[in-house]
Amino acid sequence: MQRILITGATGNIGKHVVSGLKALGKEVRIGQRNRSDDPEATFLDLSDPSSYDNALLGISRLFLLRPPAISNTSKTLNVLIDKAYSQGIEHIVFVSVSGAESNSLVPHHAVEQKLIKSGRSYTILRPGFFSQNLESAYRMDILNDSCLYLPSGRGQINFIDTRDIAAVAVQALVNPEVHARRAYTLAGKDALTFYDVANLLSLELNRQIKYREASAFSYFIHLLRQGDPIMKAFIQTILHVGIRSGQANIISSTASELLARETITMGEYVHENREKWLC
């Protein structure tokens, strides 16, 4: 039986990959940095290559996620990829980010290059901005200041729900022969500005949520004050400023075609999760 190692299993995408695979009766192994007695779990600190060999034992497929705090992927994730292929792993599904193929500033770029040049079997997922950022990166601004504070101007974003990304990942893990050496840009159907998102939140929560446009510099400082490490704040600033020039306005029906259904809209997501932004 195939045993699939899942990284980032407690995160926005990974938790749905785990449940999606289990629903299909697949055997999963959860690679986590907290040591645990759970027989499904194995110790794997992605920032520490000495933990890789043991975590890869008996694994045939790998779901690979770059944790946001890891910026040097050449010395971490790429080492894991080398070890995985040399230990006989047959397929790797990697969560990248839209545009990473032509943007060497984002840490995912080096990982994509590694996979593409490996000559082995992989699937690269390139999602746009997650709807779930509203419950993670933007949540405290919504709760504390009733605002979205971002340097994204009036740029449009085709948000994608992480449940849809996970569902595509599950397909690629279960049927690698169909998805081998493919890279999928994943985006939702609707193109929304942050003004539109603020309106959706305001209507759902019955209180006014404003979008306040930030400068790149003030947003960077805002992230540092929130406690983000400097590289993470830098990458987040680059990605959010890129929205202004249309980098997140991604016209792609790949997700809905692969899933054979409509993708989950921002409106649906906000409605289902409204309690997350109630004061």
Ligand X SMILES: NC(=O)c1ccc[n+]([C@@H]2O[C@H](COP(=O)([O-])OP(=O)(O)OC[C@H]3O[C@@H](n4cnc5c(N)ncnc54)[C@H](OP(=O)(O)O)[C@@H]3O)[C@@H](O)[C@H]2O)c1
Q: Contact residues for ligand X (CB under 6 A)?
A: 7-14, 32-34, 44-47, 65-69, 95, 97, 127, 129-130, 133, 162
CB of 7 to ligand X, least distance (A): 6
**3 state SS of 126:** strand
**Cβ proximity to ligand X, 5 vs 97, nearer residue:** 97
| 3-class DSSP state of 107 | coil
Q: Which is nearer to ligand X, 38 or 207 (CB)?
A: 38
Give the nearest distance from C-beta 206 to ligand X in angstroms: 26
Nearer to ligand X, 17 or 209 (CB): 17
Q: Least distance to ligand X from the beta carbon of 56, Å? A: 14
Cα(11)–Cα(251) distance, rounded to whole angstroms? 26
CA-wise closest residue to 123 among 64, 47, 210: 64
For residue 267, the SS3 value is helix
C-beta closer to ligand X: residue 129 or 269: 129
Strand-pair partners of 122: 92
Nearer to ligand X, 8 or 242 (CB): 8
6, β-bridge pairs: 30, 63
CB 232 within 8 A of CB 68: yes
Nearest approach in angstroms of CB 54 to ligand X is 13
Q: Is residue 151 helix, strand or coil?
A: coil
Cα–Cα dist 236/213, whole Å: 15
Nearest distance, CB of residue 186 and ligand X, angstroms? 9
* CA-based radius of gyration for the chain: 19
Shortest approach of ligand X to residue 231 CB, angstroms? 12
Contacts of 239 (CB under 8 A, 6+ apart): 97, 106, 129, 247
Q: How far is the CB of 212 from ligand X (least distance, A)?
A: 19
Complex with ligand X: residue 47 or 54, whichever CB lies closer: 47
Of residues 7 and 177, the one with the C-beta less far from ligand X: 7
Q: Which residue reads 């729900």 in tokens?
A: 161
Count of alpha carbons within 13 Å of 159, Cβ hemisphere only? 20
User: Do residues 84 and 31 lie in contact, with contact meaning Cβ atoms separated by under 8 Å?
Assistant: no
